[in-house]
Amino acid sequence: MTDNSDLYIPTFCDMLEAHERIRPYVHKTPVLTSSYLNSLIGAEIFFKCENFQKAGVFKARGASNAVFGLDEEKAKKGVATHSSGNHGLSLSYAAGRRGITATVVMPHTAPDAKKDAVRGYGGTIVECEPSTSSREAVFAEVVEKTGADFIHPYNDPRVVAGQGTCSREMLEQVDDLDAIIAPIGGGGMVSGTCLTLSNMAPNIKIYAAEPKNADDAYRSFKAGHIIADDAPQTVADGLKVPLKDLTWHFVSNYVEDILLATEEEIIDAMKLTWERMKIVMEPSSAVPLATMIKNKPVFAGKRVGVIITGGNVDLDKLPWNK
């Protein structure tokens, strides 16, 4: 085990508590199957559809756990983050349900669609310049002024415990899984999956799927220490962020392997899923299937859970309509 003496590692009990806490605010998402994709891979595949989750993404779980776990005093001061993507949406959603403020710091250059989405879920946007230094300065100012609780998108035990509720549901929904595969960026979902399965079903192998263009988790996994990429470019824009100490703990200890897919393979798998399963999912969610298509022997004859992480995609800019 990695030495993490200064790090609070969420426990199985934290995940169970998270599940009771967030149940009124998140969906128990359905599991779908496709006989076509089963034949294609030569496996029995069970797709856990977190694209149908509140805010369109699994991150509503972790955000809800963090928001609803605050005591009254802290809650009054609100929550804050600097993720303009799915975590910003999810935090806005959860804070809105609790009736507290979520402040999302984002560059004034962010697309209007992203700003509208955060506002649509009730979040408050504070704009910064499009640089890391400005973002950090503005964010510090917000926290200083409001006393808001900073909720990191993934390097936070409350968030990881919340994400772990997804695979707990899956164990209720599907018997005898041999493996579960999820996309990996910062590692929040994969860590939550590790937390749950290492306690409830340690025989189930956990795979992570990553874009080749943003393969920092893969390289970290092979090297045995965190390697962060410098601004990777991939269509799977939810997966550009690096592992942090908390998620590295889970990934390094419990993941069986990390598999890679190219941009073209990701886009093909995404389109194939839309066509055959009739679901809208974002590019990040297609990475697991893309890696399964090129690693069929790994999954042959197995019962495999695939976590479709989210469905927030700009329908006016689909990656195959270039």
Residues making contact with a copy of itself (CB under 8 A)? 30, 32, 49, 51-52, 56, 271, 274-275, 277-281, 311, 315-316, 318, 320-321
Comparison of 239 and 280: residue with beta carbon closer to a copy of itself: 280
Tell me how far apart the alpha carbons of residues 27 and 4 are, in angstroms, rounded to a whole number: 33
Between residues 257 and 263, which has the closer beta carbon with respect to a copy of itself?
Answer: 263
Tokens representing 44? 């029995």
Structure-block tokens of residue 110: 């962010």
Minimal distance, residue 318 CB to a copy of itself, in Å: 7
Nearer to a copy of itself, 156 or 282 (CB): 282
Q: Are 309 and 182 within 8 A, CB to CB?
A: yes
Please identify, using beta-carbon distances, which residue of 104 and 313 lies nearer to a copy of itself.
Answer: 313
Contact 50, 58 (CB under 8 A): yes
The minimum distance between CB 275 and a copy of itself, in angstroms, equals 6
Is residue 233 within 8 Å of 216, Cβ to Cβ?
Answer: no
28 or 222, CB closer to a copy of itself?
Answer: 28
- Minimum CB separation of residue 120 from a copy of itself in Å reads 9
- The DSSP secondary-structure symbol of 165 reads H
In sequence order, what are the beta bridge partners of 208?
A: 182, 258
**Closest separation in Å from C-beta 194 to a copy of itself:** 26
* Structural tokens at position 36: 């076509």
Are 53 and 310 in contact by the 8 Å Cβ rule? The answer is yes
CA–CA distance, 262 with 212 (Å, rounded to integer): 5
- Cβ nearer to a copy of itself, comparing 112 with 230: 112
Q: Considering the complex, what minimum distance in angstroms separates the CB of residue 65 from a copy of itself?
A: 20
**CB of residue 30 vs a copy of itself: minimum separation in angstroms?**
6
d(CA 153, CA 170): 22
> CA of 106: how far to CAs of 54, 102, 178, 243, in Å?
22, 13, 41, 21
Residue placing its CB nearer to a copy of itself in the complex, 50 or 149: 50
* Two tokens, residue 68: 């609803």
52/218 with CB nearer a copy of itself = 52
The rounded distance, in Å, linking the Cα atoms of 306 and 285 is 9
287: which residues sit within 8 A by CB, 6+ positions away? 183, 209, 210, 211, 236, 239, 261, 266, 269
Is there a contact between 311 and 280 (Cβ–Cβ < 8 Å)?
Answer: yes
Please report how close the Cβ of residue 63 comes to a copy of itself at its closest, in angstroms: 17
Compute the least distance from the CB of residue 34 to a copy of itself, in Å: 9
